[in-house]
Homo-oligomer: A and B are copies of this chain.
Amino acid sequence: MGLSKTEEFRQSDINVARYAKALAHPARIAILRILVDRSSCICGDIVEELPLSQSTVSQHLKELKEAGLIKGEIEGKKVCYCIDDQAWKQAQQLIEDLFARYKPCCTSCC
C-alpha cells in the first residue's frame, strides 16, 4: 500500500472512513444487527448465526471492538457482546451528516 497517507486528510474524514470500514463486511453488519436486536449477546450465539468459523467471527468481533462500536464483557467462560452507545452515536452522527449534506439540485448532473 505504498504509504498510508492517512495523516494528510481531515480528521473528520478519517473518522468517517474508519467507522465505514468497520461496517464494510456483511458479517459485521450481521453481527451488529444481532446485537442491536437483542441488546446483548453471548459470543457463541453470534458464531452460530453466521456461516463462518469461530476464529473468523472472533476476528470480526475484534475489528468491531477496535472501531469502538461494540464492547465485550467476560462472564465466566463466556463473553457477552453489546453495542457501545457512545461510539454508535458518534458513527451515526458522522455518517448521517455526510449523507444529509447532499441537496439534490434542480439541474441534473454536470
Q: Cβ of A99: which chain B residues have Cβ within 8 Å of it? A: 88, 91-92, 95-96
Q: Cβ of A33: which chain B residues have Cβ within 8 Å of it? A: 13, 98, 101
Chain A interface size, under 10 / 10 to 19 / 20 to 34 / 35 or more: 35 or more
Closest 3 CB pairs of A and B: A20-B23, A9-B26, A80-B110
* Complex Cα–Cα for A9 and B92 (A): 23
Taking each of A20, A33, A51, which has the highest tally of chain B beta carbons within 10 Å of its own beta carbon? A20
- Bitwise, A19-47 to B at CB < 8 A (1) or not (0) is 01111111111101100110110000000
Q: Cβ of A65: which chain B residues have Cβ within 8 Å of it? A: none
- Are the CB atoms of A24 and B26 closer together than 8 Å? no
Q: Cβ of A29: which chain B residues have Cβ within 8 Å of it? A: 9, 13, 16-17, 20, 98
